[in-house]
Amino acid sequence: MTKQLFSRTGVRYEVALDVLGAIIAHHSEAIAAERDKPVPDEPAIERALQEVDALDALRDELDPKEPEAIERVIQQYAPQARALYGY
């Protein structure tokens, strides 16, 4: 029996990380754009920073050996990532 180079769970784990990373990147861009304004909306910046922190924590806690958690992240956040980037 040959060993597979990639497991489905490993690939899905990478997808979940990419989805979360895309949303984090979007919020980071929005924060930078808001900070560049003559009068930045500080509450909007704080909300975005809190969202980034929450997504960062979720990404850090995601275990590549927990396929159910991986699929939950993809199901919950992939539609948001698609919407943010117009897909």
Has residue 74 been placed in a domain?
A: yes
* Residue 12 · residue 71 · CB < 8 Å: yes
pLDDT digits 0-9 by tens, 27-60: 999 999 999 999 999 999 999 999 999 999 999 9
Has residue 50 been placed in a domain?
A: yes
| Count of CB atoms situated within 10 Å of the CB of 58 | 16
Has residue 33 been placed in a domain?
A: yes
Has residue 2 been placed in a domain?
A: no
Residue range 56-79: mean pLDDT, rounded: 97
- Total domain count for the chain? 1
Has residue 28 been placed in a domain?
A: yes
Query: Which two structure tokens, joined as six digits, stand for 57?
Result: 């924590």
Has residue 53 been placed in a domain?
A: yes
Has residue 27 been placed in a domain?
A: yes
pLDDT digits 0-9 by tens, 3-17: 555 678 899 999 999
Domain interval for residue 55:
8-85
User: Which long-range contacts (C-beta less than 8 Å, at least 24 apart) are formed by 43-52?
Assistant: 51/27, 52/24, 52/27, 52/28
Q: Model's pTM, two decimal places? A: 0.87
